[in-house]
Amino acid sequence: MIRYWLMLLVIGGFFGRIQAQFIESDTVFTYYDQFNKAVSYFESGRYRLAENEFQRILTDEKEFYDPASHLMLAKSQFRQGKLSESQRTCRSFLNTFPNNPYEFHGQALLGDIFIHNRDYSKAMERFLSIRPVITDSLFLREIDNRIVSCISIGLKSEHIERILFNESNDINRAILNLARGYRSLLDGDTYETRLSIDVIASNMLPIQYQPMLNALSLFIQDKGFFQANIALVLPLTGREQTVGQTFLMGLADMVNDHRHDMAVHFQIFDNSSNDVKSLQLLKMINLDRSIIAAMGPISNRSAIAAAGLLGSLPILISRTDLPNLPQTSEDIFLLSPSLEIQARFSARYLVNHLQLENIAVIAPGDDEDRAQADFFLDELHQLGIDPVAVEWYHGKPENISRQFKVLRKTAWGLIPEEDPNQDALDLEIDSLDALFDVDVTDFFKLPEESEVEPMNRKDSSKVVLETIDAIYLPIKKNDLAFVGTQLPLYNLKTLLVGNENWYDLEVLNQDVIGPHVQGLSILSSSRPTVGMSKNAKLDAAYSMGYDQGKFVNTNSHVVSMVIYHIRQSHQSSGMRRRFKEHLRRGLRFIGKSTVIQLSGRNRNENQLVQVLVYNRNRIKTIGFFDGNTLVNYKSDLP
């Protein structure tokens, strides 16, 4: 917000030179009044109104000669996802007002548009072009974080070389050599990686780039002792490349943080976001006697193929939406709690831990989307609880008023009926008072009969109802804005329990949603952490890479046994068997964002969920839940 007010001050000086064009003093006042109004719309997230106001300023007040409104119009369009319109407006701003004080903000916005369009090379070029001229340290840090994100995507080598050929700034050249080294690592060319990072002076790179440089150095150095080999199967190219490469960055940061106690060597394989190639790679890895396990964020189809793979290779899957997958093969290890576990534990949390009884459900009813609600309802049934209401909706929940009205009606029905004799039964008669004839009208003026407004069904929507203890409301991806804006209309004071798709702070924190869902609980596979970006999906990938890599490395004593067998017998079946036996011991691992403890029928599925609570624009983790007990992070951990 401070930046916008600074913008106003600078723009005030800028327009002081052209103020002669406006004769009427109230015209200037009207302009600033409208500009402040438009900025307030933007800052409160009402981007469509902000766009309309900035457009009105340009057409009615300034005849399109206003760099501030021009730039803010582009930003408002960008926040609405109007990328083409925002790009046109942004280019018009840069062409119409060259060398204006906020040119680098326009260049940064254009870079953000390129990122959303997945043109990371052009985005990198824009960010590097403005980096040397930025004096605001906070804004410079934001630009560096965006550049790191672009590098982690894995820019094409020819694009890096082209930018590097035309770059003269020393710091930018060091950043580009870092990008070239990382790209070479993704391509499996460790020699080129070494050449790229050897020309980088470590004191030349800003602090945001140091972890990546250290991680690259660690990947290519020869540590001089045996390490257990783990195959890492990732989508480094193709439609899911962003997830795979962000997972790899999380793993790289873990390796850098624990460089002095690494007992595992990760061999990286690119499946090109292709399920058939994943199966081919797993078959090849299975034949490699030196590899004791494979892991990675592979797709559901690849997970099914992996479950049918004949061999002794343990496969550690980051997460999957498929129920019962770990039961199909003892060689499959699921490192994140499944959607079934999240749903069943949500029911146990409400009934066993919170001791709630009146529980309602609103959920998507389409075949491919209703699984979580079905698991939740089945668990309630096993716990001896009958839900007070179950309502299904189909398609986009743009209007689910019928479902909420049913819950209102249910809530009214749960209000206990008043006993007409209760007041008489509770009346205590004082014998002394009975001696006097006292009329209550001597003390209180009773309202006339016409003044009393009896409650009827018309007024029921205004009454806050508290008779439903909890509502389980799992939603599909990108449906939070539809459901969240309808909740406040029905005045149900209850505990709202959602699934992981509720975890979207940008939507939750909107004024029309956030104040009405305070206390929202989410039983999730992970807890909020700082990752590579503000994108929840990428943050989850980064966190999985970091924590799951550390989980494998933490098994230090079993790795030592594996190394011994490598040196003595080279029998991969024995190494793999010992590794699987150790995993099935179910030792609890607590990472930055996840807790892993393998249990279940085959002791190969993580059955610990994080309990998250939304309050005051933040999502806080209160602990993790094992289906019976809540372990509080503050007081219950050793």
Domain shared by 331 and 348, yes or no: no
Given a cut of 70, whether residue 159 has pLDDT beyond it is yes
2: domain CATH number? 1.25.40.10
| C-alpha–C-alpha distance, residues 607 and 430, integer Å | 63
Q: Is 287 exposed, middle or buried (0-12, 13-18, 19+ CB in 10 A)?
A: exposed
Residue 382 CA to residue 377 CA, distance in Å, equals 9
Q: How far is CA 316 from CA 322, 326, 490, in A?
A: 15, 10, 45
- Is 424 domain-assigned? no
Q: What is the SS3 assignment for 49-63?
A: HHHHHHHHHHHHHCC
Number of other CB atoms surrounding residue 311 within 10 Å: 15
Co-location of 463 and 377 in the same domain: yes
Are both 510 and 612 inside the same structural domain? Answer: yes
Q: What is the pLDDT at residue 595?
A: 92
Distance CA 279, CA 262 (A): 28
Indicate which CATH number applies to the domain containing 506.
Answer: 3.40.50.2300
407 and 467 share one domain: yes
Residue 130 within a domain: yes
Given a contact cutoff of 8 angstroms between Cβ atoms, the answer to whether 477 and 369 are in contact is no
Q: Are residues 509 and 468 part of one domain?
A: yes
- Ramachandran sector of residue 355 (left: φ over 0; alpha: ψ -120 to 50; beta: rest): left
Strands across the sheet containing 315-317: 264-270, 228-234, 291-296, 315-317, 332-334, 605-606, 598-599
525: CB partners within 8 A, 6+ apart: 319, 336, 337, 342, 500, 594, 609, 610
Average pLDDT, the chain: 80
Give CA–CA dist 151/181, Å, rounded.
10
Q: How far apart are CA 95 and CA 92, in angstroms?
A: 5
> How many residues can be counted in the chain?
638
Select the more confidently predicted residue: 99 or 467: 467
Question: 267 lies in which domain range?
Answer: 251-336+530-606
Q: What's the confidence (pLDDT) of residue 207?
A: 87
- Tell me the H-state helices in 523-591: 536-554, 556-568, 572-583
CA distances from 174 to 182, 184, 189 (A): 12, 15, 19
Angstrom distance (rounded) from CA 326 to CA 331 = 8
Do residue 495 and residue 616 come from a single domain? yes
> For residue 377, which amino acid is it?
L
Say if 615 falls within a structural domain: yes
Decide which of 221, 236, 270 is a domain's last residue.
Answer: 221
Domain co-membership, 634 together with 518: yes
Helix (H, G, I), strand (E, B) or coil at 92: helix
Give the residue, 163 or 556, on which the prediction is more confident. Answer: 163
CA distance 283 to 478: 36
Residues 293-337: pLDDT tens digits? 999 998 888 888 877 776 788 999 998 888 778 888 888 999 999
The values of phi and psi at residue 498, to 5°, are -120, 180
For residues 384 and 482, state if they share a domain.
yes
On whether residue 239 sits in a domain, the answer given is no
Chain segment 168-202, per-residue pLDDT in tens: 899 999 999 999 888 887 666 777 888 888 888 87
Q: Same domain for 47 and 100?
A: yes
Domain boundary among 179, 206, 221: 221
